[in-house]
Structure 1
Amino acid sequence: MPTVADRPDAPIAIQSNLAAIFVSLELSRSIWLITSLSPGSGEKMSKHSVRAGDVAGLLARFSELKQKAFARTRKSFPIVVIQEAGLDGFWLHRALEQEGVESHVVDPASIATSRRRRRAKTDRIDGEALLRTLLAYKRGEPRVCTMVRAPTPEDEDRRRLCRERKVLIAERVEHVNRVKGLLFSQGISSYEPLRRDRRQRLEDLTTGDGRTLPTHLKIQISRELDRLELLLAQIKLAEAERDGLLAEGQAAAPESPARMLLEFKGIGAESAATLWLEALFRHFDNRRQLASYAGLAPTPWQSGSVDREQGVSKAGNPRLRAILIELAWLWLRHQPQSALALWFKERVKRNGGRMKKTTIVALARKLLVALWKYVTAGIVIEGAVMKPA
């Protein structure tokens, strides 16, 4: 699989002469607010707005900005645009790049804000803050913000399979719990909606005080079972598509990350697909970048003589972090003699059997790094057991 850089290359030196028109976009469902700073206009930021989704109107505004800058300076300048990552996704970013506009998508949580208890917040203020952030980034100021690397449309579409399955599983849990709750109010606690004979067993149920199941309650539960069966069918279809995608990846590249992950005992199709589609299709420079992307990087709090840890940042990919915690518990069960499992047991023993939940997070981070090294460099995890061929 082709790798994609996590972070675009930033300027390596501070620059003072930025010959460009800088534009920030504040996107909402109804209005796009355009804040711009052009050469020859001093420090004055101009603000305009277009209707949301009007790309033609946005490009027309860019053309007007270039014409005004040319009239003031008799020079032509490129346009550099910044927007926050959010509900609009990356379609506008891709549309601007197709038009030859330099576009950047920034992580909004990485932009410094006022720490006053009450701070003013409007689209105008946010637009100006975005523009100042873009200027600092283009000057080459270190760590001024974190730019998001937009995935390719193919990569973005592929990972929908695992995400859709997770949504369907959550809906299945809701319907199962609702059916159980309705029956529990009648003194029935042994009914399992996921069993294949759920319809027949529903007809045979009696309440705790010996009555037949009330008519309207039975109708309501039957409708819940209709929705539940539809969900079960959709989950099977999603899993079949996932398995097909894994098979295609293995056929296209024998050394694909998905095939290599499936070699380990304890890693199944869902875990391998999630690890591949959420993280390991990307390129990471080092293990710190990888842990930060998963939200498993430590968060220190140090000031003077105060020095303590606040736990993991949880600022990364929540789906990847959740599957890693599950996989860490499974790793202890299926790989008990591996170096990672022995490290976990020794650490828990040293703490007197306490802090298992804290230590499992550390194991998840170590496991992610170890799997990344195996996929990228072929370094096998010490003591790990592989599935039989």
Structure 2
Amino acid sequence: RRRRRVKTDKIDGEALTRTLLAFKRGEPRVCAMVRAPSHEDEDRRRICRERKVLIAERVRHVNRVKGLLFAQGVSGYQPLRKDRRLRLEELCTGDGRGLPKHLKAQINRELDRLELLLEQIAAVESERNSLLSVHERLASEAPAPAMLLTLKGVGAEFAAVLWTEALCRHFDNRRQIAAYAGLAPTPWMSGTIDHEQGVSKAGNPRLRTTMIQLSWLWLRNQPASALSRWFVDRVQSNGGRLKKAAIVALARKLLIALWKFVTAGVVIEGAVMKTA
């Protein structure tokens, strides 16, 4: 019967019109309106996104070099060290022979590409730092970067991602920003069934990944904060289990706390600021 449902442009247009009228009347949960970012906000995102792509490419080249050498019985070589070329000439295979000529040429070409990537990553990070420094001087216009950088454990990359991906936008309440990051809960309640399915993962994946990483670092750099104490108590009450579920919950709480800190100036309880 589903395939025999009538579908025409007239019916779709009438449904959209009814939805729009209900939204204008103020009815809740009728639809969600997209708030497109400005051209400047969208362009600023490219810096952190490009860096993430370059980092992934760097990992692939490093693993490729290590894999080629491991096939010859060589381990312990670090392609990211500055003396990578000199150490390559000193390497020997597992049976004591020198590296084959064509293999060494292939690794040198991989190192050429790796060095180009390192230069590009440095250029992108320099551009990111200059952007943050400019907005740090103009804190009255964009206070988010400057305020985030005052927290211990929040570096330039985390501050840039949080600012460009989330905190440059307007949110009405904590539920909106949690849903935007994909950290909103998805309950399953039907009859006698009542359990959680985890987070929705329907929001910004870059912001969600960054918040998970920042949550682990927050536990290390801010152990005396109220959020860290809540995480420790929650894990201990479960006998040391369910750390992954608890860290996701901490990421949601931390994102909301950072949003309140940037927008309303509400200081996170127990948080330590960086020394000048």
Q: TM-score, normalised by structure 2?
A: 0.92
Instruction: Measure how far apart 1:303 and its partner are.
Output: 1.0
**What SS class does the counterpart of residue 197 from structure 2 fall into?**
strand
> 1:307-322 alignment to 2 at 5 Å?
307-322=194-209
Query: For 1:300, what is the secondary structure of its paired residue?
Result: strand
Q: Is the 8 A contact 1:169 1:235 kept in 2?
A: yes
Q: Determine the structure 1 residue equivalent to 2:63.
A: 177
Classify the secondary structure of the residue corresponding to 1:140.
helix
Give the count of matched residue pairs.
269
Letter in 1 for 2:84: R
- The structure 2 residue matched to 1:140, chosen from 14, 22, 46, is 22
Partner deviation per Cα, 1:6-61 (whole Å, 9 max, x = no partner): xxxxxxxxxxxxxxxxxxxxxxxxxxxxxxxxxxxxxxxxxxxxxxxxxxxxxxxx
Match of 2:266 in 1: 379
Residue 363 (structure 1) aligns with:
250
Query: Residue type of the partner of 1:289?
Result: Q
1:274 to 132, 152, 161: 161
Alignment of 1:281-300 (within 5 A): 281-300=168-187
Moved more, 329-338 or 299-308: 299-308
CA contact (8 A) 1:136 1:144 kept: no
Identity %: 68
Q: Which structure would you say has the larger Rg?
A: 1
Query: What's the CA shift string for 1:132-169, capped at 9, x where partnerless?
Result: 65334322265344332111111100111011100100
Match of 1:246 in 2: 132
Aligned-residue offset at 1:250? 1.4
**Cα shift at 1:129:** 8.3
In structure 2, C-alpha distance between the alignment counterparts of 1:203 and 1:164, rounded to whole Å: 33
Alignment of 1:325-336 (within 5 A): 325-336=212-223
Amino acid of the residue matched to residue 304 of structure 1? G
Structure 1 outlier segments of 4+, above 6 Å: 125-130
- Indicate the structure with greater strand content: 1
Give the deviation of 1:336 after TM superposition: 0.5
- For 2:137 and 2:123, locate their aligned partners in 1 and report how far apart those are by CA, in whole Å: 21
Structure 1 residue 253: Cα displacement: 2.4
Whether the aligned pair in 2 keeps the contact of 1:328 and 1:367 (CA below 8 Å) is yes
Aligned-partner Cα distance in 2 for 1:238–1:126: 49
- Please name the residue that 2:90 is paired with: 204
Structure 1 stretches lacking a partner, 5+ long: 1-113
Residues 212-248 of structure 1: CA distance to partner in whole angstroms, max 9, x if unpaired? Answer: 1011111111111000000000000000000111111
Note the 1:43-58 alignment, pairs <5 A.
none
Q: Matched residue of 1:159: which SS?
A: helix
TM-score by length of 1: 0.66
- Distance apart, 1:327 and its partner CA: 0.4
Gaps of 5+ in 2: none
Distance 2:243 2:256 in 1: 20
Of 16, 28, 47 in structure 2, the residue corresponding to residue 161 of structure 1 is 47
Report the alpha carbon displacement of residue 127 of structure 1 after superposing the two structures with TM: 7.2
Are the counterparts in 2 of residues 133 and 144 from structure 1 also a CA contact under 8 Å? no
Deviations 1:308-331 (A, max 9, x none): 100000000000001100100000
